[in-house]
Amino acid sequence: MAYLSDPKETIAVLQRYHFNFQKKFGQNFLIDGHVVDKIIAAAEITKDDVVLEIGPGIGTMTQRLCEEAGNVVAVEIDRNLIPILTADTCKDYTNLKVVNADIMKTDIRELLAEYGERPVKVVANLPYYITTPILMKLLEERLPVASITVMVQKEVAERMETGPGPKDYGALSLAVRYYAEPYIAANVPPNCFMPRPNVGSAVIRLTLHEKPPVVVKDERFLFALIRASFNQRRKTLVNGIGNAPETGCTKEQVAEALTRLGMSLTIRGEALTLMEFAALADELGTAK
């Protein structure tokens, strides 16, 4: 079988099916075998694993995943790609299940239920326009997933990996750290895709924590505080949190909590670690 990571094979398949790229689905197909190798290596796929692939496209990475994993469940939103996957590029793999569905509307736990307690790893070349919602769904639903290895826009990968201080640090950085340990495995230039995106990409692996690295009394309140702190980055926490209706806190309460924690009243969200946000959430939760 010819691998689709050969650009000539990709072009041949697209022409055979008169396939037109759908901008609304953010379709950019991988055409570089070395990058596929890096993704597979970063994900550490074994025959014991069940792999959930989101957005398989024409099956470039799917082929390799089927060869390395025990089972692969590929969820593809574009119905025009289903016959290409099932009747052509991946038709010989008996360990592949192709599902035509929107991952954002899919009950992933139910989808994976038939595989029992086996380790699940998510691998995907994610559409850039919906990267963060997909990742947050995977993390917040606390699925039986060991790791998430995804291709994303380079800027988003850097945002997920960074710590307090830089302008890239924000709500996504903290959310990812709460649920997982991020590691950028590779940077990928635009010429590795068809069509070429306008931005650089990166492969990032998120290894999920068994338990969050911080203990907080009210998880929802913690993330409400974090969102309020970064919705208007240039504001101090006193103003950012105190002006946000979803926190239910006054500026006075925020100022008093910061003082009790020994923090400056002019401090901004970008200066706080996850642990410090957790401490502030507990302090404010008690004061409300």
3-state secondary structure of 2: coil
- What pLDDT is recorded for position 287? 59
- What pLDDT is recorded for position 2? 61
Residues 6+ apart with CB under 8 A from 250: 242
- What pLDDT is recorded for position 1? 56
Pairing label, strands 71-76, 50-54: parallel
Output the CA angle 142-145-146, nearest 5 degrees. Answer: 125
Which pTM was predicted?
0.92
Report whether 189 contacts 240 (CB < 8 A): no
Note down pLDDT in tens along the chain; length 288 residues. Answer: 567 777 888 999 999 999 988 888 889 999 999 999 999 999 999 999 999 999 999 999 999 999 999 999 999 999 999 999 999 999 999 999 999 999 999 999 999 999 998 889 999 999 888 999 999 999 999 899 999 999 999 999 999 999 898 888 999 999 999 999 999 999 999 999 999 999 999 999 999 999 999 999 999 999 999 999 998 878 999 999 998 888 999 999 999 999 999 999 999 999 999 999 999 999 998 755
Residues 6+ apart with CB under 8 A from 110: none
In the chain, the amino acid numbered 130 is I
Query: 167 burial class (0-12, 13-18, 19+ CB within 10 angstroms)?
Result: exposed
CA distances in angstroms from 110 to 75, 135, 208, 274, listed in the order given: 13, 18, 20, 32
Residues 6+ apart with CB under 8 A from 245: none
- What pLDDT is recorded for position 167? 86
Walk me through the domains of the chain, giving residue ranges and CATH numbers. 7-208 (3.40.50.150), 219-287 (1.10.8.100)
* Token pair for 111: 């989808």
Report whether 222 contacts 281 (CB < 8 A): yes
